[in-house]
């Protein structure tokens, strides 16, 4: 299972809120809900997140074996 727990920690460390992701980075609230629920996310969204947070993919997600 892919989880996005690291995303919230990275956002906290960089001082970026979900509001900023929505308003300045073009990530809609439905996508943020999907991230919180660890649902499927498009690769273009992952790209936007890494760009907005200036981080690597492993800084926002990880694989945890079921």
Q: Please report, for residues 14, 35, 56, the alpha-carbon distance to residue 66 in angstroms, rounded to integers and kept in the order given.
A: 30, 18, 24
pLDDT digits (tens, 9 = 90+) for 11-42: 999 999 999 999 988 899 999 999 999 999 99
Domain coordinates in residue numbering, the chain: 2-63
The CATH architecture of the domain made up of 2-63 is Orthogonal Bundle (1.10)
Q: Are 31 and 41 a contacting pair, CB within 8 Å?
A: yes
Listed in sequence order, the residues at least 6 apart from 28 whose beta carbon sits closer than 8 Å to its beta carbon are: 22
Q: What mean pLDDT comes out for the span 40-47?
A: 94
- pLDDT for 25: 85
In this prediction the pTM is 0.89
Kindly provide the residue ranges of all beta strands, DSSP E only, lying in 1-66, ordered along the sequence. Answer: 2-3, 62-63
Q: Please report, for residues 3, 23, the alpha-carbon distance to residue 6 in angstroms, rounded to integers and kept in the order given.
A: 8, 21
Both tokens of 36, joined, read 């919180």
């Amino acid at each position: 299972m892919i989880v996005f727990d690291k995303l919230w920690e990275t956002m906290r460390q960089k001082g970026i809120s979900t509001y900023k992701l929505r308003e300045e980075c073009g990530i809609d609230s439905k996508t943020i809900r999907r991230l919180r629920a660890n649902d499927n996310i498009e690769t273009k969204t992952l790209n936007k997140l890494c760009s907005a947070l200036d981080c690597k993919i492993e800084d926002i997600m990880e694989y945890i074996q079921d």
